[in-house]
A = this chain, B = another copy of it.
Amino acid sequence: MHKGRMEAFSDGVIAVIITIMVLELKVPEDVSFTSLVAIGPHIALYALSFIYVGIYWNNHHHMLQVCGTVSGAILWANLHLLFWLSLVPFTSEWMGEHLTDAWPVAAYGAVLLMTGAAYMILARLLVKHEGPDSVLARAVGGDTKTMLSLVAYLTAIAAAFFAPYISLGLYAAVALAWLVPDRRIERAIANS
């Protein structure tokens, strides 16, 4: 099966996910500067979730670029990734209303954890499909960065129960670490 329509569908779903989050931003209560400042954390959180979804789109794009065809199992692994990603607006909304409470902050991390795991499953299925000597296999390598992110999410989930601000810091740190695009694949293309 050709990968084209899976890419197009993923683009559509991710485009909707990244955009509907803005529907959850409540306009300031009145027209004062104070009420504008009061929604600052919500806008910062919107930016964080936007960056996370953007990272997934970006890496998805890079990874699929060096693939040829896809299988039925890959289509489902991709839908599985999109499912968890689609819950980001949901946990983002809950955490936005309760930035210092354990369960909302942990739930945000849990969805990031599941999304990261789903991405890893998709990556492994693609590597298996492409073969051990493919450009993708060399590019994805040991998945160290993804692994470290999963560890950071787990730490953040645990931290949410005694110091939620540490969790928020970890979520921001992982996002920053991924803002750098995955040069491994660009390099692997250049070397191939």
CA distance A18 to B36 in the complex (A): 24
- Measured between beta carbons, the chain B residues less than 8 angstroms from A103 are 28, 31-33, 36
Assuming A5-B11, A50-B86, is B18 touching A76 (CB within 8 A)?
Answer: no
Bound CA span A8–B14, Å: 11
Q: How far is the CB of A25 from chain B (nearest CB, A)?
A: 5
**Contact (Cβ within 8 A) B79 A54:** yes
Q: A22-B86, A87-B22 are in contact. Are A94 and B27 (CB under 8 A)?
A: yes
A186 in the interface (beta carbon within 8 A): yes
Contact for A75 among B58, B89, B98, B104, CB less than 8 A: B58
A1 within 8 A of B: yes
State whether the Cβ of A120 lies closer than 8 Å to any Cβ in chain B: no
Known: A5-B11, A7-B5, A47-B83. A90 touches B20 (CB 8 A): no
Assembled-state Cα–Cα distance A86/B22 (Å): 7
Say whether A188 faces chain B, with CB atoms less than 8 Å apart. no
- What's the number of copies of this chain in the assembled complex? 4
Interface of A is mostly: helix
Contacts of A75 in B (CB 8 A): 58, 61, 181
Residues of B within 8 A of A57 (CB): 9, 79
Q: Is A44 an interface residue (CB 8 A)?
A: no
Q: Which residue of B lies closest to A19 (CB)?
A: B16
Q: What residues on B are CB-neighbors of A16 within 8 Å?
A: 12, 15-16, 19-20
| CB of A130 within 8 Å of the partner chain | no
With A9-B11, A15-B16, A86-B18 as contacts: A58 and B73 at CB distance below 8 Å: no
Within 8 A of B (CB), among A83-102: 83, 86-87, 89-90, 93-94, 97-98, 101-102
Mind listing 14 A-B residue pairs with CB under 8 Å?
Answer: A1-B65, A9-B14, A12-B12, A12-B16, A18-B86, A20-B20, A22-B89, A23-B23, A31-B98, A31-B103, A50-B79, A50-B86, A58-B79, A72-B186
